[in-house]
Amino acid sequence: MINSKLKPIKLFNFVLKTVFYILICLLFLNCEETILEFDEKTFYREWAAWEALAIADYSVKIKFDIHEPFPGSFYYRIIVRENIIIEIESLDGYDYKYPHLTPTISAHFARIESLSKTCKNSRGYIRLTYNEEYHYPEIIDFDLPEGGRSGLGAETMYLSEFTKLTSVLK
């Protein structure tokens, strides 16, 4: 409570300092970036280009790095036929018991889209590097410290040694 015996000039100075303090606090609060860094235009262009190629049979090597909360790396190759994973080959000795958690390239695009929408007002980033010939994301790098509703932290995936396979239906 402000002492009622303060002279008017002291009261004015007190109010002025209080308003100034509040404005500075609001300024600093608004300086924190809350928008997700994500190149949506390029993402949708590359996704459409990938889908236009209609590649349903392929193999690709994946290196999956988890930076937090439990750091580690996983290496495996997937073989996809008619857009369904038919084999997961371990390249690091780990037994992949959950193939439903390993997405195809099309499912990677859908997952990235979902993350970008879920976390659009979060701090962090989703950075993608695309294969020039086939347009799939070769590097999927994201850091979502808040995790949005996804509960994710930082992860990087590297897709390499992509090989188109001859369709079994031809």
Q: What does the pLDDT profile of the chain (170 residues) look like in tens digits?
A: 555 555 555 655 665 566 555 655 444 444 445 577 889 999 999 999 999 999 999 999 998 887 766 677 888 899 999 998 888 888 888 776 665 566 899 988 998 898 888 877 777 888 999 999 999 999 998 887 654 434 456 788 899 999 999 876 55
- Give the model's pLDDT for residue 30: 44
Cα–Cα distance measured from residue 83 to residue 50, given in angstroms and rounded to the nearest whole number: 13
Contact 83, 169 (CB under 8 A): no
Residue whose token pair is 């860094």: 37
Domain boundaries, the chain: 1-32, 40-164
Neighbours of 152 (CB within 10 A): 20
Contacts of 48 (CB under 8 A, 6+ apart): none
